[in-house]
């Protein structure tokens, strides 16, 4: 189950999307999320899905890896489906009992919301699959450069976000290792009620916290040994430059946002 956590993982291939500027990819993700929420009908979501599939095809990332990112929100998807399908008020009622109402409008809205959540999670996962933590740090720092004028610690913020993102798969691997060790000693994490499973997690949390503190301490010592002084007088080994790939990506996302807005205006809402 822990191996299904995809956030923070990088898939190393040389593809069109991998070679794009990280700043453009971050802007692309923000604009894509905005387009998802601006979509008022299935035509708009279909346009978002088409652009996502196009980006996925040019990224070289296997489809099954991106689909694994959805497993982390299965509970949210199930809860959202039940809540909207059974309690959404609509005019065309298929079945009703007490406060439960299954309506045509509720089913349509549930399907619309599920597609929106799927696209939201998968496009976010695709960013981490195609961009290294270092590139993400450089991209975030460059995009937040105007905040330096008010003495905001942009470099430190970007570094914290990058380290947190990078530590996700590390902590997941450490959790898997601790669980295997506990299972070898007879621990049971699969059976029993909710209270029993919660108690079984306690022997995992303490070693995991100790391991996290140890990794943080070792990282701090490594940065200090390399004379890390924050953003003061730092230079870049790789300079970020926009290229023709970034121009194509910018035109594509601009066309998507414009098309979604126009479809919402002229084709109306889903219900």
Strands (E), the chain: 93-97, 100-103
CB 36 within 8 A of CB 264: no
Q: What is the pTM assigned to this prediction?
A: 0.80
- pLDDT tens for the chain, residues 1 to 271: 445 555 557 888 889 999 999 999 999 999 999 999 999 989 999 999 999 999 999 999 988 888 887 877 788 888 888 888 887 777 777 877 777 888 888 888 888 989 999 999 899 889 989 988 888 888 888 888 888 888 888 888 888 887 887 787 788 888 888 888 887 877 776 666 667 777 777 778 888 888 888 888 988 898 888 887 776 666 777 778 888 999 999 999 999 999 999 998 888 777 6
Give the Å distances, CA to CA, from 94 to 78, 82, 121: 21, 15, 31
CA distance 130 to 238: 17
CB atoms within 10 A of CB 229: 10
Q: Would you list the domain boundaries of the chain?
A: 1-153+240-271, 163-230
């Amino acid at each position: 189950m822990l191996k299904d956590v995809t956030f923070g993982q990088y898939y190393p291939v040389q593809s069109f999307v991998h070679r794009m500027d990280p700043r453009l990819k971050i802007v692309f993700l923000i604009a894509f999320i905005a387009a998802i929420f601006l979509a008022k009908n299935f035509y708009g979501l279909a346009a978002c899905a088409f652009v996502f599939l196009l980006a996925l095809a040019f990224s070289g990332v296997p489809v099954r890896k991106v689909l694994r990112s959805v497993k982390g929100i299965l509970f949210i998807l199930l809860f959202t489906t039940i809540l909207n399908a059974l309690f959404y008020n609509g005019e065309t009622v298929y079945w009703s009992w007490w406060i439960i109402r299954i309506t045509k409008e509720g089913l349509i809205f549930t399907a619309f919301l599920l597609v929106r959540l799927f696209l939201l999670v998968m496009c976010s996962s695709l960013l981490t699959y195609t961009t290294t933590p270092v590139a993400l740090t450089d991209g975030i720092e460059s995009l937040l450069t105007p905040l330096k004028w008010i003495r905001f610690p942009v470099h430190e913020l970007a570094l914290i976000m990058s380290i947190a993102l990078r530590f996700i798969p590390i902590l997941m691997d450490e959790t898997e290792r601790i669980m295997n060790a506990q299972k070898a000693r007879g621990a049971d994490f699969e059976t029993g009620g909710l209270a029993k499973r919660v108690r079984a997690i306690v022997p995992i949390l303490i070693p995991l916290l100790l391991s996290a503190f140890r990794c943080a301490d070792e990282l701090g010592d490594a940065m200090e040994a390399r004379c890390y002084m924050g953003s003061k007088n730092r230079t870049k080994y790789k300079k970020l430059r926009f290229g023709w790939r970034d121009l194509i990506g910018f035109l594509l996302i601009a066309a998507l946002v414009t098309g979604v807005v126009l479809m919402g205006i002229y084709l109306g809402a889903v219900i």
